[in-house]
């Protein structure tokens, strides 16, 4: 079967055919070279960097590392099946996520580097090259991800976003202005006009598929930028206030209710009686087209539409804010909510003084999963439901996380999920659900897993939250992310316990029951500065770096930022994760089977110990046992006695010897640390994890 030329091959050809003879002062971190780039073509630079020819370097990762894995009879341009032996029962489309290791990347930061060593990150350096990340540059990190066992590349938003009322140096990728277009900043000038931006992304997806990695994206169907490109044709899809009153726009406060009150019906009845709520909803105006369609038809042709609307109508799109009542967060000035219903919610309609008023943003109209109108904005719904299919058709992606999916009406959510699975029945959806108790609801809605609350629980080892999270996860109807940090939270290496805690949790997460290991970009090199201060942030979160660091007080989600890839311990976690790959592979079936798991407990009430066991039947009809034993005290060693009586009773394995397969503190060796048949006597150093097979 003849397969069409891949965009990846076209990209390789474009890089190889360059006639540029410049000798470049162009460096990359040495961790970007996990593909044995020709040593004759590189020069070791100071500070753990390599000096390379950029054209040849990125061409080599394609030619020497990626394409040799290509099989002639496979179509890598579409979401592909990796030949998984799926169980006949209890398998839903997209459940491959259960056996995945996910790497979360924000391309513009993950692949960013000060290539010309000017001391700062430039949008265009001395060679007129962007030092922020691109799809082409991200190819060089795929060997590093594969070394760590990653098989899902999950990307924060890659769509075109707005710079109006932007946050930070660059603006937030969550302020999407056009779902259908990619962020133009992800285009790489190295390729010139030989490939379009869309083709470069296609090449990246193909490269991931060739390496048996799946690709997932973030979609944001609940909000859009305040100068969304959809306004030009559909101003009625948005909420409007007077531009001249913009400075008075604020989140309404309800003094009768406490901070971050839930917007249930009882609280909303109280809210609607508040003078500040009435002040707020009275600020809203009808959209410009409804006010004067003839004038609108002229104004909408303006190049700077937002400015023209202000000039002719004195209108601006109203910013979004939290759906919790009295949430202390200010308005989110760069984004707004879509108007999902054309009328006021049925349940709260009796609380409104008059229904004859312009559409407004309030806690109930935000919470469209709970409060419905009688008139769905069906044309908008169709548009939102086609976001994922559009990326499937054009780029062959394998899955998506739905941002604020919990605030969408169930019929709209069904449309989004069903349309994607009509194209690819094995498409995966991740729910932005942080409450484990709502996992069943997420499953009923068609999701394959939840994000969960590991980022809050795992770092709180002294409160027993780590054990609670990891032991209780086995009972959840859907898997949850096994992680201690995300792009919205503090970094593990910046928590109490520092790099030792980050190492401990990164290892434990690879074996957490009913968990999907999740690595946040930068975590692998012990990054301490958060990407955002959105969740669980402490007052000093912005100040994790030394004031002399060029990225001091910067946040990767909004600013020019590069990760500290030259950290002296940059290879430690990648090497550890590489060592864990064969262990995970050997016990893969057991890690996915709830019935093969048993928690381990110390003889004495030791809050520092956490342990898992998994067992598998061998040809001799005995069951090999895998112990994962961790000391959550990152400061002190502990001698611990572990009761394995129930495990002995459950299995046929009564061996008194085994193998120490892995330790964060020592080399593999024979293992004989038993007091008797039912008690394991173990020494664990500060923050140590031992993995033992009997």
Q: Taking 60 as the threshold, does the pLDDT of residue 84 lie above it?
A: no
User: Is residue 1 very low, low, confident or very high in pLDDT (cuts 50, 70, 90)?
Assistant: very low
7-224+380-547+564-577 to CATH, choices 2.170.120.20, 3.20.20.80, 3.20.20.140, 1.10.3720.10: 3.20.20.80
Same fold, 7-224+380-547+564-577 and 585-693: no
Q: Give, for 517, the enclosing helix (H) or strand (E).
A: strand 515-520
Q: Please state, as a whole number, how many other Cβ atoms lie within 10 Å of the Cβ of residue 421.
A: 19
Report the range of poorest mean pLDDT among 91-95, 246-250, 526-530: 91-95
Structure tokens at 52: 């390379």
Q: Taking 50 as the threshold, does the pLDDT of residue 479 lie above it?
A: yes
Give pLDDT, residue 681. Answer: 87
What's the rounded mean pLDDT across residues 278-305?
Answer: 97
Higher local confidence (pLDDT), 379 or 2 = 379
**267, 325 Cβ separation under 8 angstroms:** yes
Q: What are phi and psi of 423, to 5 degrees?
A: -85, -45
What's the rounded mean pLDDT across residues 493-507?
Answer: 97
User: Is residue 615 very low, low, confident or very high in pLDDT (cuts 50, 70, 90)?
Assistant: confident
The per-residue pLDDT for range 578-599, each reduced to its tens digit, is 999 999 999 999 999 988 999 9
Give pLDDT, residue 694. Answer: 85
Q: In 288-408, where does DSSP find H-type helix? A: 288-291, 293-299, 305-313, 363-366, 378-385, 387-395
- DSSP letters, 331-363, are PBTTEEE---BSS--TTTGGGSS-S-S-----H
User: Is residue 82 very low, low, confident or very high in pLDDT (cuts 50, 70, 90)?
Assistant: low
- SS3 percent helix, strand, coil of the chain, rounded to 5, is 35, 20, 50
Domain spans of the chain, in order of start: 7-224+380-547+564-577, 228-367, 585-693
Q: Give, for 284, the enclosing helix (H) or strand (E).
A: strand 284-285
The per-residue pLDDT for range 372-414, each reduced to its tens digit, is 999 999 999 999 999 999 999 999 999 999 998 989 999 999 9
Q: Taking 90 as the threshold, does the pLDDT of residue 202 lie above it?
A: yes
Q: Round to the nearest angstrom and report the end-to-end CA distance of the chain.
A: 48
Give pLDDT, residue 622. Answer: 63
Q: Is 61 helix (H, G, I), strand (E, B) or coil?
A: helix
Taken as a whole, the chain contains a residue count of 694
Which residues, 6 or more positions from 220, have their beta carbon under 8 angstroms from its beta carbon?
Answer: 157, 159, 174, 176, 403, 404
Gap between the Cα atoms of 61 and 30, Å rounded: 14
Write down the residue that tokens 């719904």 correspond to: 381
- Domain 585-693: give its CATH superfamily: Golgi alpha-mannosidase II (2.60.40.1180)
Q: What are phi and psi of 125, to 5 degrees?
A: -90, -165
Pairing of strands 674-676, 679-684: antiparallel
Write down the residue that tokens 């996992």 correspond to: 439
The per-residue pLDDT for range 163-197, each reduced to its tens digit, is 887 788 999 999 999 999 999 999 999 999 999 99
Write b or e for each residue in 537-568: b if 16 or more Cβ atoms lie within 10 A of its Cβ, otherwise e. Answer: eeeebeebbeeeeebeebbbbbbbbbbbbbbe
Q: Judging by beta carbons within 10 Å of its beta carbon (0-12, 13-18, 19+), is residue 478 exposed, middle or buried?
A: buried
Pairing of strands 284-285, 658-663: unpaired
User: Is residue 86 very low, low, confident or very high in pLDDT (cuts 50, 70, 90)?
Assistant: low
C-alpha pair distances (Å), 37 with each of 129, 143, 144: 22, 11, 13
Give pLDDT, residue 81. Answer: 55
The per-residue pLDDT for range 509-537, each reduced to its tens digit, is 999 999 999 999 999 999 999 999 988 99
Q: What are phi and psi of 647, to 5 degrees?
A: -65, -45
User: Is residue 462 very low, low, confident or very high in pLDDT (cuts 50, 70, 90)?
Assistant: very high
Strands (DSSP E) contained in 373-505 are 399-402, 428-431, 449-450, 480-482
Report the range of poorest mean pLDDT among 89-93, 261-265, 462-466, 507-511: 89-93
Give pLDDT, residue 124. Answer: 84
Average pLDDT, the chain: 92
What's the rounded mean pLDDT across residues 121-149?
Answer: 93
Q: Is 214 helix (H, G, I), strand (E, B) or coil?
A: strand
**659, 693 Cβ separation under 8 angstroms:** yes
What's the rounded mean pLDDT across residues 268-272?
Answer: 97
Which residues, 6 or more positions from 436, have their beta carbon under 8 angstroms from its beta carbon?
Answer: 450, 452, 453, 472, 473, 476, 480
Gap between the Cα atoms of 146 and 365, Å rounded: 44
């Amino acid at each position: 079967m003849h397969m069409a030329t891949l965009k990846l091959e076209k990209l390789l050809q474009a890089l190889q055919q360059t006639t540029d003879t410049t000798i470049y002062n162009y460096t990359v971190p040495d961790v970007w070279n996990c593909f044995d780039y020709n040593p004759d073509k590189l020069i070791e630079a100071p500070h753990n960097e390599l000096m390379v020819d950029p054209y040849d370097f990125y061409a080599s990762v394609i030619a020497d590392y990626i394409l040799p894995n290509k099989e002639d009879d496979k179509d890598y341009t579409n979401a592909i099946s990796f030949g998984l032996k799926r169980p006949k029962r209890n398998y839903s489309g997209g459940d491959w996520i259960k056996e995945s290791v996910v790497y979360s990347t924000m391309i513009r930061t993950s692949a960013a580097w000060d290539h010309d060593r000017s001391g700062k990150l430039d949008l265009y350096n001395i060679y007129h090259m962007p030092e922020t990340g691109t799809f082409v540059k991200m190819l060089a990190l795929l060997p590093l991800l594969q070394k760590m066992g990653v098989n899902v590349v999950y990307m924060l938003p890659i769509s075109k976003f707005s710079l109006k009322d932007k946050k930070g140096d660059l603006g937030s990728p969550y302020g999407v202005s056009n779902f259908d277009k990619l962020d133009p900043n992800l285009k790489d000038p190295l390729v010139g006009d030989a490939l379009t931006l869309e083709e470069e992304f296609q090449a990246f997806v193909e490269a991931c598929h060739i390496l048996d990695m799946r690709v997932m994206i973030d979609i944001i169907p609940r909000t859009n930028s305040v100068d969304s490109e959809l306004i030009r044709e559909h101003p009625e899809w948005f909420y409007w206030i007077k531009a001249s009153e913009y400075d008075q726009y604020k989140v309404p406060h309800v003094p009768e209710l406490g901070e971050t009150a839930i917007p249930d019906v009882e609280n909303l009845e109280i809210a609607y009686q508040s003078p500040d709520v009435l002040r707020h909803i009275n600020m809203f105006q009808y959209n410009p087209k409804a006010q004067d369609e003839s004038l609108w038809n002229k104004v909408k042709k303006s190049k700077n539409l937002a400015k023209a609307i202000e000039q002719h109508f004195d209108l601006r799109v109203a910013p979004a804010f939290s759906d919790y009542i009295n949430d202390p967060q200010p308005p989110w000035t760069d984004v707004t909510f879509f108007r999902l219903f054309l009328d006021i919610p049925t349940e709260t309609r009796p609380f409104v003084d008059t229904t004859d008023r312009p559409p407004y943003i309030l806690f109930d109209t935000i919470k469209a999963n709970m409060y419905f109108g009688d008139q769905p904005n069906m044309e908008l719904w169709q548009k939102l439901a086609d976001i994922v299919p559009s990326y499937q058709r054009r780029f062959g992606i394998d899955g998506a996380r739905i941002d604020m999916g919990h605030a969408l009406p169930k019929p709209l959510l069904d449309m989004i999920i069903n349309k994607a699975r009509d194209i690819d029945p094995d498409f995966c959806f991740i729910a932005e659900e942080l409450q484990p108790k709502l996992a069943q609801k997420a499953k009923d809605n068609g999701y394959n897993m939840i994000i969960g609350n590991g980022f809050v629980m795992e770092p709180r080892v002294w409160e027993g939250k780590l054990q609670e999270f990891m032991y209780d996860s086995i009972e959840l109807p859907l898997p949850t992310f096994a992680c201690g940090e995300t792009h919205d939270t503090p970094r593990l290496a910046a928590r109490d316990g520092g790099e030792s805690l980050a190492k401990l949790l990164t290892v434990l997460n690879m074996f957490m029951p009913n968990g999907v290991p999740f690595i946040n970009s930068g975590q692998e090199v012990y990054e301490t500065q958060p990407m955002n201060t959105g969740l669980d942030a402490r007052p000093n979160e912005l100040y994790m770096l030394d004031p002399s660091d060029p990225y001091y007080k910067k946040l990767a989600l909004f600013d020019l930022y590069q990760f500290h890839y030259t950290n002296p311990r940059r290879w430690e976690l990648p090497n550890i994760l590489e060592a864990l790959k064969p262990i995970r592979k050997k016990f893969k079936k057991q890690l996915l089977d709830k019935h093969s798991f048993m928690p381990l407990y110390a003889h004495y009430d030791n809050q520092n110990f956490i342990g898992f066991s998994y067992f598998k039947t061998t040809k001799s009809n005995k069951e090999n046992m895998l112990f994962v034993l961790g000391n959550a005290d990152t400061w002190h060693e502990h001698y611990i006695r572990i009761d394995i009586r129930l495990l002995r009773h459950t299995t046929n394995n009564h061996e008194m010897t085994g193998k120490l397969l892995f330790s964060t503190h020592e080399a593999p060796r024979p293992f004989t640390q038993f007091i008797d048949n039912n008690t394991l006597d173990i020494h664990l150093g500060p923050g140590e994890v031992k993995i033992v097979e009997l």
